Amino acid sequence: MRALLALEDGLVFEGRSFTGPGETSGEVIFNTGMTGYQEVLTDPSYAGQLVAMTYPLVGNYGVNQEDVESHRVFVEGFIVKECCKTPSNWRATQSLPDYLAEQGVVGIEGVDTRALTRHLRLHGAKRGIISTEESDPMVLVERARNLPTMEGRNLAEVVSPASPYIWNGTRPEPAPMAADGSYAWPGMPNGDRGIRVLVYDFGIKWNILRLLQEQGMDLLVVPASFTASQVRSVRPDAVFLSNGPGDPAALTSTIEELTALTRDYPMAGICLGHQLLGHALGGSTFKLKFGHHGINHPVQDLSDGHIEVSSQNHGFCVDIDTLEDVALTHMNLNDNTLEGFAHNKLPIIAIQYHPEASPGPHDSRNFFRRFRNLAMEAAGLQANAE
């Protein structure tokens, strides 16, 4: 089925839909991973975006229900050079075309993804439309120009859960209520009390919850709308801010609530959480030209010079020059942008990349141990360096 991809600047690609008829729109970006397309598709941080994969053949190992990072596909559309319809992998339960069609997500193949990627690198991320319904490319181009830009979009409130939940080790479950009407902490599987960490879900990837739990943390996961007074009412030991989509500067009310929490609790953030902590500490963010989306991005830990092979997915960046009492801890070696910071006086750490992913495969897992130790020290417990 003939399909068109039209960008706001007039560039048009003709391809074929491998998911049936449909139309979708969003910010067109590219991901450089050779594998991991299922994790990409189900990462809520991609909400509002059409994702082009730079690797030419996608879908050859199919999909399964074990590798998802959330409860559904969040990309607005999927762009590939060639889609494999007959996967070959013992873990596969479904083909990529069937999976996307079942979720109502439009996929287009036959696109020169090398040319598209080069265009986005030279000119930056663009608004775009994929359509099998409109045959006039100039009509699509004009409609793409009228789409909202990513700047100013609060997409975290779109993907954030409606109410608090706990993590049962494999899936979310509704948070139990305490006798006083507040939310109860789940406790550890053996009945012991772990470090109580309140997790803000701005579009969290499930592997973050798995790795926090592995560090001995009781997790109460709350929506983006959770206020500072609500946080204090459940008396956590620490607060964690997740990844998520959209422009961090648009979350003005959330930033106000987080600012009120920065002096009360140890805090850590990943990706959007990193950016929101930057705002909460008085800083600002800016839009990257085409963002960082993919794996094998080199990041240097400035404390010891160690290089981490990282997974990344962000279109905004914290401006370190706008922060006070904050030390730069990690730097992107591709473009020298900020990848991590720590507060000089408060127990607050944050990184821009994704330590829960596995390109290294475990280069960045120490971030979760660092956060655990901050929380334990604040709670008066003996920190463990292992």
Weakest mean pLDDT among 215-229, 239-253, 350-364: 350-364
Q: Which of 83, 84, 271, 317 is catalytic?
A: 271
Q: Give the tens place of pLDDT for each residue, 166-193.
A: 999 889 999 988 888 888 888 766 666 7
Looking at residue 279, its amino acid is H
Could you tell me the domains of the chain? Answer: 2-146 (3.50.30.20), 155-379 (3.40.50.880)
**pLDDT at res. 169:** 87
Band (194; pLDDT cuts 50, 70, 90): confident
Contact between residue 171 and residue 220 where contact means Cβ atoms under 8 Å apart:
no
- The total number of residues shown for the chain amounts to 386
Q: What is the mean pLDDT of the chain?
A: 94
Q: Give the tens place of pLDDT for each residue, 142-165.
A: 999 999 999 999 999 999 999 999
Q: Does 362 qualify as catalytic in the annotation? A: no
> Would you call 42 helix, strand, or coil by DSSP?
coil
- Find out whether 10 is annotated in a ligand binding site: no
The residue-averaged pLDDT of 83-101 equals 97
Q: Does 356 qualify as catalytic in the annotation? A: yes
Q: Is the preceding omega at residue 236 within 30 degrees of 0, hence cis?
A: no
Residues 6+ apart with CB under 8 A from 385: 369, 373
Triad 55, 58, 61: Cα angle to 5°: 130
- Find out whether 283 is annotated in a ligand binding site: no
Q: How far apart are CA 207 and CA 233, in angstroms?
A: 27
Band (385; pLDDT cuts 50, 70, 90): very low
- Find out whether 366 is annotated in a ligand binding site: no
Q: Give the tens place of pLDDT for each residue, 95-116.
A: 999 999 999 999 999 999 999 9
**pLDDT at res. 185:** 87
- Find out whether 367 is annotated in a ligand binding site: no
Task: Classify residue 135 by burial, with Cβ atoms within 10 Å: 0-12, 13-18, 19+.
Answer: exposed
Q: Which of 8, 39, 109, 356 is catalytic?
A: 356
